[in-house]
Amino acid sequence: MTLARNTRLLGAVTVVVLTAGALGVVAPAAATSAPLAYTCAVLGQTRTFTLVADLDAPPTIAFGETIAANAIGTLTVPEDVTAAIRSDLAATRVDGKADVNAAVSGTSRPWTLVFPATAVPAAGPMTLIGVGTAGNYAATKVGTTYDVVAGHFTAVLNFYNAAGAPTSPVPSTSVSCSLNAGQTGAVDTIEVVKDTTTTKVKGRDRAPGVKPRVKVKVKTAHGRRAKGEVRVKILRKGDKVRTSIVTLEKGHARVPLAGLSGSYVVRAKYLGTGRFKGSSVKDKISV
């Protein structure tokens, strides 16, 4: 194998590692990166390849929510490079790992990627898909946007023949790859939005020695305690009898019904806050 041909081979395979992961293939979210171009230095020469990356995270996460994301990448190895892997090294499969200098909103958040064993096709190009852990994303402030980017990376690739043994004379290699200038490396964006809520109301019927009242409870979808105000309307035969606005205490509120007698409809509406969406409910009560 000539040095030039060996260089071409190793440069091509190294870019593949950025698309690999130890956790198995995960369905990507709707948005993906534009094709990102990398220059890989191998044995004193360079080659350029492109990849498409993504996170398996939703475009939005709710206040109070924490998600664990995986990085996903897809790369098609050109037909001539695939032929070199197959013919020059007599390789039937490839595995390895890579350390990627990824970042989230300017803060380093590296990915450790493992390329699972992938068969070298008998003809044509080779498409490789992989997944690696991308860390946790916590929704602590509504309006926060996480901008995920991929940067430079280093990789180690291992080659195996049909018997499962390392290939010779090149069983593995280490390669350093840099993101080409003029690219942001943008992979995905995650925005923190308001959490959803569920409002429950329970009207307490009159009983000896008990004052009639309405109890309201507001529950958030991700466990944070709801704050803010609830508007409670008391209606009789469609006509409004009374309206009260009460402040939640530990997610609860109570509205007295003193002076009322008969059957009513209670409508409670949580007005929401900067962190939580509003919600509403109604119930019947006899006092």
69 and 166 co-located in one domain: yes
End of a domain among 142, 165, 193?
193
42 and 164 co-located in one domain: yes
Outline where DSSP puts E strands in the chain.
36-42, 45-55, 60-62, 66-77, 93-100, 103-104, 107-108, 111-119, 126-138, 145-149, 153-160, 172-179, 186-193, 197-204, 213-220, 229-236, 239-247, 252-256, 263-270, 279-286
108 and 217 co-located in one domain: no
Residue 208, pLDDT score: 59
**Span 187-207, average pLDDT:** 87
233 and 147 co-located in one domain: no
**Span 66-81, average pLDDT:** 77
184 and 235 co-located in one domain: no
17 and 46 co-located in one domain: yes
End of a domain among 193, 208, 230?
193
Specify the number of domains making up the chain.
2
Q: Return the CATH number at 171.
A: 2.60.40
**What is the residue range of 204's domain?**
197-286
Which residues have C-beta within 8 Å of that of residue 181, sequence separation ≥ 6? none
End of a domain among 146, 165, 193?
193
Averaged confidence pLDDT in the chain = 80
264 and 180 co-located in one domain: no
Q: Return the CATH number at 210.
A: 2.60.40.1940
157 and 18 co-located in one domain: yes
Q: What span, in angstroms and rounded, lies between the C-alpha atoms of 211 and 187?
A: 59
For the ranges 14-23, 100-109, 172-181, 231-240, the lowest mean pLDDT is seen at: 14-23
- Higher-confidence residue of 99 and 253: namely 253
From the CA atom positions of the chain, what is the Rg in Å? 30
163 and 183 co-located in one domain: yes
37 and 147 co-located in one domain: yes
Report strand pairing: 263-270 vs 229-236: antiparallel
Structure tokens at 270: 């949580």
Q: What span, in angstroms and rounded, lies between the C-alpha atoms of 72 and 110?
A: 14
